[in-house]
Amino acid sequence: MSEQQAFAQGPEGLTDGFTARRTSQWRVLRSEWIKLLTLRSTWITLIAIVAVIIGFGVLSALVASGSVTPSSSNGGGPPTEAMRRNPLNTVMSGANLAVLIVAVLGSIIGAREFASGLIRTTFSAVPRRLPVLWAKLMVFVGVLLPIVLVAIVAVFFLGMSLLASADAQTVAWSDDGVARSVIGLGCYIVGLGVIGLALGTLLRGTAASIGVVIGAVIFVPALATALLPESWDEVLKYLPSNAGAAFTTASQSGGAMLDPGVGAAVFVGWIVLAVACAAWVIKRRDA
């Protein structure tokens, strides 16, 4: 008898008036939304991200403007020339640190369910599986992008006004490439988080995916640029972090970097590649 029911419904007895709804992408999204927000660690990490972006940015601005002088016994001292020369970098110092936290958060969100075994319950509820990956990505971007962008724009104006009040060098939002690089940096941070999430589902281990995303995506390109001969530079420009640098820095340093638009496209390409691999593996591998 139950075979003909397009919509399975249990016999009477256990429940009063509960009717199951179709498992749509929207409902899977709701499920992942609840999952993310019901973990205390999510809230702590989100607060940490905002605190780091704004806190370190403000602190750097104060140091650069000379309002705060780090104690010289710790290797501090008066503001360095570099800090004064590049106000945007100074104010975005926290954002550059937040890259690590967001990448780690992405890896954890991607790998966490595999570590706990919850993924088997999740895939039993959504046996087609891919909606789960899409939902995780949407929730991640939907939560982090606004938070990171708001924090990063806030610290830009906060930091610049601090620098201005100390008569230090500043850049304006309307200056050439500034708005692009500030917004670009926010997108780059969240984009790396997405790559972390994809790697987390791919490698199924929190530690492994954090190691790969931070090591390979953030440090290896920097190391390779420093160690490999110049003839490699053409290739290294296309690595995720270097492609990111192309649209997150306001001043173009000659041919060492891709054009901002090309850099953004290459970076999006890396994200698509990571997500495509994750989707392929999630669909095929036994859970």
Partner 1 sequence: MIEVSELTKRFGAVTAVDGITFTVRPGIVTGFLGPNGAGKSTTMRMILGLDRPTSGTAHVNGRPFRQAPAPLAELGAMLEAKAVDKGRSARNHLRAVGATIGVGRSRVDEVLAMVGLTDVAGKHAGGFSLGMGQRLGIAMALLGDPPVVMLDEPVNGLDPDGILWIRGLLKSLAAEGRTVFVSSHLMSEVEQTADHLIVIGRGRILADMPMGDFIRQSSQHRVSVMSPDATRLAELMAGPEVVVATADDGSLVVEGLGAREVGELAAANGIVLHQLVDVAPSLEAAFMELTAESVVFHGSVDQQAGSAA
Q: Which is nearer to partner 1, 216 or 287 (CB)?
A: 287
**Nearest distance, CB of residue 33 and partner 1, angstroms:** 8
**Residue in 47, 82, 125, 228 binding partner 1, rule: CB under 8 A:** 125
Q: Does 226 bind partner 1 (CB under 8 A)?
A: no
CA-CA distance, 114 to 120, in Å (whole number)?
8
Q: Which is nearer to partner 1, 37 or 223 (CB)?
A: 37
Tokens standing for 237?
């420009």
- Any residues with CB less than 8 A from the CB of 126 and at least 6 apart, and which? 23, 28, 31, 132
CA-CA distance, 176 to 103, in Å (whole number)?
29
The SS3 call for residue 150 is helix
Q: Does 9 bind partner 1 (CB under 8 A)?
A: yes
Q: Near partner 1 by CB under 8 A, which window of 124-132, 161-169, 170-178, 190-198?
A: 124-132
Q: Does 130 bind partner 1 (CB under 8 A)?
A: no
Q: Which is nearer to partner 1, 1 or 226 (CB)?
A: 1
**Nearest distance, CB of residue 13 and partner 1, angstroms:** 4
Contacts of 58-62 with CB under 8 Å at 24 or more apart are: 58/94, 58/155, 58/158, 58/159, 58/162, 59/94, 60/90, 60/91, 60/93, 60/94, 60/159, 61/90, 61/91, 61/158, 61/159, 61/160, 61/162, 61/163, 62/162
Q: Does 28 bind partner 1 (CB under 8 A)?
A: yes
CA-CA distance, 20 to 17, in Å (whole number)?
10
Q: Does 227 bind partner 1 (CB under 8 A)?
A: no
Q: Does 134 bind partner 1 (CB under 8 A)?
A: no
Site string for partner 1, 150-189 (x = CB under 8 A): ----------------------------------------
- Any residues with CB less than 8 A from the CB of 196 and at least 6 apart, and which? 102, 103, 104, 105, 106, 107, 110, 209, 210, 213
Q: Does 31 bind partner 1 (CB under 8 A)?
A: yes
Residues 256-285 that bind partner 1 (CB under 8 A): 284
Q: Does 136 bind partner 1 (CB under 8 A)?
A: no
Site string for partner 1, 60-99 (x = CB under 8 A): ----------------------------------------
Q: Does 110 bind partner 1 (CB under 8 A)?
A: no
Q: Which is nearer to partner 1, 38 or 72 (CB)?
A: 38
**Residue in 15, 72, 231, 253 binding partner 1, rule: CB under 8 A:** 15
Residue pair 206/107 in contact (Cβ under 8 Å)? The answer is: yes
CA-CA distance, 246 to 270, in Å (whole number)?
14
Q: Which of 94, 53, 65 is nearest to 169 (CA)?
A: 65
| Residues near partner 1 (CB under 8 A) | 1-16, 18-23, 27-28, 30-32, 34-35, 38-41, 112-113, 116-128, 284, 286-287
